[in-house]
Amino acid sequence: MEETDPLLHSNRVQRESTSLQRSDQNDTQRIRPDRIAVVCIILTVMCERLAYYSVVANLILYCHSKLGISSTKATDINLIFTGSVFLVPAFGGYIADVYTGKYKTILGSGFIYILGLTLLYYSAINGISHNLREALFFSSLVFITIGSGGIKSNIGPLGAQQVECLGTPAVQSFFNWFFWSINFGAVIAHTAVAYVQQKIRFDYGYLIPLVVMIIGQFIFWIGRNRYITASDEGSPFREIFGICWASRCKGFDQAERRNHGRIYTKETVKRVRAFCKILPVFGLAIVYFGTYAQTHSTFFLQSERLDISKLSDIVPDAALGSFDNIAILILIPLMEIFIYPFLKRINQTPSLLQRMGLGMIFAVLSVVAAGVLEIYRKHDISLNQTIFDKDYNASSISIFTQIPQFTLMGTSEVFTSVSGMEFTYSEAPDMMKGVCMGLYLDTIGIGAFFALMIIKIVNGIFKDPWLPDDINNGKAENLFFLFAVLTFLNFILFIFVAKR
């Protein structure tokens, strides 16, 4: 394989020219990016992520305290919600690519999102019946899932379109700061908003993301006449299925000879080939994101049963999740300003897939650290502590011992998640960027369902469940080590696929 293969050297690929236009004009000439448009997109995604993580940060605790749901079922709800949020983007990207365009899809999805957050706020109000609370809660998660999915698949590609006329380095820089803004919003959610939810009242804590999302929607609307958008080109799947059928999936070049009355140009066949080449990479991201899903599920269950007294009354235990995000906030500027430029000067710039593989190794180290901590934690169950009116038998080991596993997972995101987004945008054909970004985000959702499946399987196979309602009576360390093994094996397969 030649060195210029796009799968190994995405940052060198020659991209197809994209006809660009203002969202309110038919101007197809390339123009310099509007800084205000880029800022509006960055602020919008920060507000959306702040709102999302404000919902998910204490979701398990909310299920415990307000709905009376057991730990196991609350973990299931958390993983199902997280998985669903990341499954909808492919549909949102398709709608944008084929029918409404990115701007209208994001704007419409934002209103659905706000409706979901409104229902969630009302579900947390004191004095309503349990049945009504449940109905409002689960309905809110459905609307939040739809709204968030429509935004996720399109906001990244729309932002990258604003700067792609400046070349590959500008696109890479955009995705770095795009991901940085996501994690800045997450830190606020895991600290300030989680504090309001845990220490004051949940309805006040859910009012904050509602207000923030309204502000984000307004900011996005302000830039409506400034965004550069790609022209509509019809349904990408029609070409994909048509070419695959014509070639019988044995060789795309045959599609030009066996088109059954439909003309498929070399350029069209090239696009479909590029699409099919990135699918294995998406598939191999699933196990990684299944491991990453532990940060908002089993890691949180572990947090509840560690000594939180040193956090004092001013810091919620959900704040531990912010160490993941803090690692990202520190590492992205470090990589962007110092490390990557230095590696470029010595001609040792790692490819996007190499960065993704490195991130998988950090994820392995994260769950290994969690497993080792769990072994020591269960040897010392000597405390009884109360979190939001619920008692837990906990270890005297400080909750701060979770910092290494969260930091390692955050480091893995800098390499795998950021590079995965850039890889998807760089390799996707112009007419399919929304769909491809949606498919990449789908791997995060499928990963959450994969994690849920693994938990159900091991709980069903073994006589003593690894993850019972009270993890003090389970073997969560075995679950963490299992995810470490699966992620490492996935990394080995990833290397093989990337080289091919």
Is residue 371 within 8 A of residue 477, CB to CB? The reply is: yes
DSSP string over 178-239? HHHHHHHHHHHIIIIIHHIIIII-HHHHHHHHHHHHHHHHHHHHHTTTT-EEEPP---HHHH
Residue 369 has pLDDT above 60, yes or no: yes
The residues pairing with 390 across neighbouring beta strands, listed in sequence order, are 387
Our measurement of the distance from residue 35's CA atom to the centroid of its chain's CA atoms, rounded to an integer in Å, reads 25
- Residue 305, Cβ neighbours under 10 Å: how many? 24
Q: How far is CA 108 from CA 112, 204, 223, 424, 437, in A?
A: 7, 26, 15, 24, 18
What's the rounded Cα separation, in Å, for the pair 123 and 133?
Answer: 5
What's the rounded Cα separation, in Å, for the pair 167 and 335?
Answer: 19
Is residue 352 within 8 A of residue 278, CB to CB? The reply is: no
The residues pairing with 22 across neighbouring beta strands, listed in sequence order, are 228
- Give the pLDDT score at 237: 58
Question: Which one of 18-27, 136-145, 233-242 scores highest in mean pLDDT?
Answer: 136-145
Which distant-in-sequence residues (6+ apart) come within 8 Å of 289 by Cβ? 86, 443, 444, 446, 447, 448, 450
Question: Which one of 44-48, 158-162, 222-226, 450-454 scores highest in mean pLDDT?
Answer: 44-48
pLDDT tier, 6 (very low <50, low <70, confident <90, very high otherwise): very low
- pTM (two decimals): 0.74
Residues 296-310: pLDDT tens digits?
778 888 888 888 877
What's the rounded Cα separation, in Å, for the pair 327 and 415?
Answer: 12
Phi-psi region of 167 (alpha: psi -120 to 50; beta: other; left: phi over 0): left
Residue 13 has pLDDT above 50, yes or no: no
Section 274-282 average pLDDT: 83
pLDDT tier, 373 (very low <50, low <70, confident <90, very high otherwise): very high
What's the rounded Cα separation, in Å, for the pair 209 and 12?
Answer: 40
Of 312-316, 410-414, 468-472, least confident by mean pLDDT is 312-316
Burial of 260 (0-12, 13-18, 19+ CB in 10 A): exposed
Question: Which one of 228-237, 354-363, 460-469 scores highest in mean pLDDT?
Answer: 354-363
Section 37-52 average pLDDT: 94
Helix (H, G, I), strand (E, B) or coil at 434: helix
- Give the pLDDT score at 348: 85
Which of 275 and 478 is assigned the larger pLDDT? 478
Q: How far apart are the first and last CA of the chain?
A: 7
Residues 180-218: pLDDT tens digits?
999 899 889 988 898 888 888 899 999 999 999 999 999
